[in-house]
Amino acid sequence: MKFIDKIFPGYHIDSWYSIKMTRDADLDYDEEVGAQLIDIIENISHTRQLGNPNRFQYDSKMPKRMLDYLCETFHITSDDLVKAGAYHNFRDFFALPNPLSPNLENPRHIPLMIKELDEAPSLLDMVARKEYMLHFPYQSFLYFIRFLNEAARDESVVEIKATQYRVANNSAVVNALINAANHNKKVTVFVELKARFDEEANLKFAKEMKSSGITVIYSIPGLKVHSKLALITRNIQGEKFTSAFLATGNFNEKTALLYSDIGFFTSDPRITNEIESLFEILKGNKIRPVFNHILIPNYNMVETYCNLIKNEIENVKKGRKGYMILKMNGLDDPFIISKLYEASLEGVKIDCIIRGSCCLKTNQVYSKNIRVIRIVDRFLEHGRIFVFYNNGDPSVYAGSADWMRRNLYRRIECVFPIYDINKRNEIIDMLNIQLLDNVKASEINENSENVRIVNNQKPLRAQKEIHEYLKGKNLQ
């Protein structure tokens, strides 16, 4: 190591070894409420620095006696040890300049604009008449910001409700909500303080909003609110109208340039009425609404998925086609996985696009009809989308919830249906493009290993093709 003699002047340096210790960042605050929770979060940075070691990365050349000494000193068990090289913090490489710039760099990504929305005098009026689906980061997130800012100024708007999980620094979303409160709108925001590593930022924004007159509702004990919802209520000549924006990703204009997600504008009362009921639950009102359209954990989500899977099985038994496309970040729920195995055994074909953890085991007798691929490319695949063939009339859902135990049972999530046939077909087209990726996609084998997809087909990079697909639709 260069300059180590400067760090330890007067010493003869015999050898040096690098280490990296990771501490437990999970804190036991799920059951806390009110002032206790706020107090924990205000001190969370200090608390995390004192967490128990749970991963100790060390240079493989380190002598055993030194490693033993460190383990004894820091109470590190053998399960915590990770053997590595001399350099550990590879994240630091992001800060280094590219000496070959602009070589080896992606060209700057400029999100596509939507002519119909750009030319609309009022986005609120357009959404009241017609549904719009946005695909980030291919299309611009600015339409949602405009939606909120218009609502802040529009005289017909009487109330805005929204959830907040992770927002950007100097958030345009938060600024728009504060602007609405300054224009005497009734604004209610549910802030999830337990969004890991964003607790302090969310508390800061919550205090800013509260000081501006916004009604801020904090976390629910034992649950995380992970849904991505905004609801606008208007009073037009004494009649109530509601419009909503639902998303698969956070209301964050920075990550909307990097994460692949869906945003959905709708004024369909079947959906907006149920979102209103969900906000009543978030406000703590003791109601037990019936959800017939949106899917909510511990109300109808798992039951609906089981019925949709069962329907595919029944169609196969009747000699029809049974098929599903399931896209998500993670799949680990044993119960829902068992239902997929059951469908596979009955002959239902299942294509899964899973970016992160996947506990489903492929290439087994019980999973012979299930294929799992993973796409890792320039944009982070973050959307959760579920397609059930339904004998040629596909049921399509999108939303905030993965098929993981925490999402299906321990969070407030919202998965919403796509009823418009053109938008359903658009989603299915884009998923089919991803299933054909042979440039950035890998198939997950029975050992959970990534196996590059190699075939004789023309090279197809899904993210590039989807950009061109949406660009072409915008020109129609």
Residues labelled catalytic: 226
Confirm if 446 and 363 have CB atoms less than 8 A apart: yes
Tokens of 119: 């030319």
Both ends of the chain: CA-CA distance in Å? Answer: 60
